[in-house]
Structure 1
């Protein structure tokens, strides 16, 4: 594939190629290749392995941490109803984080070599190969690193008793997000709510990439005015 004079060889590792696309990267990455076979990222088998993740690893790894976080608040004296309230607030907080990351980081405009390369690793690869099932959920090692600033952020506006419960709720929201994201790409819902969610998200991939940033909910798209236009209407 040739973009602005540079040829992208889809049969070779892509990560260190996409940076050369310059300003043409934005156009290239939003021309999806709908195939269940994902591309190779790196020449190194070790680095390639680190980019591959099964969806079920997310709940297996992180749900025990969620339970631990809730139990910490209970042990310190928080009542069960209060923990449930904090968990709900944590989930809502996560949906705002999810929306913000997707809109302002994952869809940032890049044109430099390293800007394109990093964006491709973060999110561009998902738009280019949206059906790549092994690169759809976030790598657990990267999540573990990001949990430290997430914990410290929650500490800024919570008490020692409520911090673990809020953190657990936020982490539970993340698990719901990643599992839902996999579901809307690779499953075939029969009931109306998941069918609408799948339609909403695939509309973001294949029709209006600069709208519809919510994955688990369209709440913040409604709040911040980024709802996609109705089917049949074009975005301005």
Structure 2
């Protein structure tokens, strides 16, 4: 999205390691994707009111989506966002760059922390609508979609808190933050959850940092190195000819970009 098309404070970039909790709240509710999720949730509720399912079926449809969300996120995060196949396909390279590579290149860049609507909305609808419809028809589908959209809002905010220069008062959220920071700054090959690490534990990808003493050399580039870029150049080209691997605050190119922003 070009800066001229961004609303309000989003005409400039924001970095969570330089923001307060209050500033995050203000930025969060002005971000276009969050506004879209909330608006579509309200629209889904109106559809439910027109074609209501029973309270039990509605609760079951919505609850099924909330329960399925951690597993869906785990699978997408591990096998899609951390894949090594998307950047090899020219027409998928820009999508992979936007939805996850840029986030690992600079984990505290708020604008690329949020999911891209052209990828999140089809995914949410693709999971929620069939399950909801099977449980409660049109009303069940509407309830499931609203649940999926609102759960996404919660996930996005918790994700922001995990990157914010802020110590959560909640021990539960502090533990989530600890795991997620290890994923971003120590070893990306594990701790794929956001609000739940149940599936990491179940599938063997949960870890504490002492268990992996050596830092992953690809934690900031997800394995997309200069050598890889020689064969698959599209992400590098879109990144201005740069493949960065070090800490984002210790790169000259990143400092220049931030000054420009």
TM-score (normalizing by structure 2): 0.61
Matched, 1:193 2:188: no
Instruction: Choose from 97, 121, 124 the match for 2:101.
Output: 124
> Deviation of residue 51 (structure 1)?
11
Matched, 1:109 2:84: yes
SS at match of 2:210: coil
Distance 1:152 1:75 in 2: 16
| 5+ long unaligned stretches in structure 1 | 1-41
Segment drifting more, 76-85 vs 168-177: 76-85
Deviations 1:50-85 (A, max 9, x none): 997953234433123223324433543423454334
Match in the other structure for 2:152: 174
Aligned-residue Cα RMSD (Å) equals 3.4
Q: Matches of residues 153-164 of structure 1 in structure 2 within 5 Å?
A: 153-154=130-131, 157-160=134-137, 161-164=139-142
Structure number with the higher helix fraction is 2
Matched, 1:84 2:59: yes
SS at match of 2:63: helix
SS at match of 1:190: coil
Matched, 1:204 2:177: no
TM-score (normalizing by structure 1): 0.67
Q: Tell me which of the two structures has the higher relative contact order, counting C-alpha pairs closer than 8 angstroms and 6 or more residues apart.
A: 1
| 5+ long unaligned stretches in structure 2 | 15-26, 215-261
Relative distance call for 1:156 and 1:198 in structure 2 (3 A) is same
SS at match of 2:211: coil
SS at match of 1:232: helix
Distance 2:112 2:197 in 1: 23
Relative distance call for 1:47 and 1:107 in structure 2 (3 A) is farther
Distance 2:46 2:35 in 1: 18
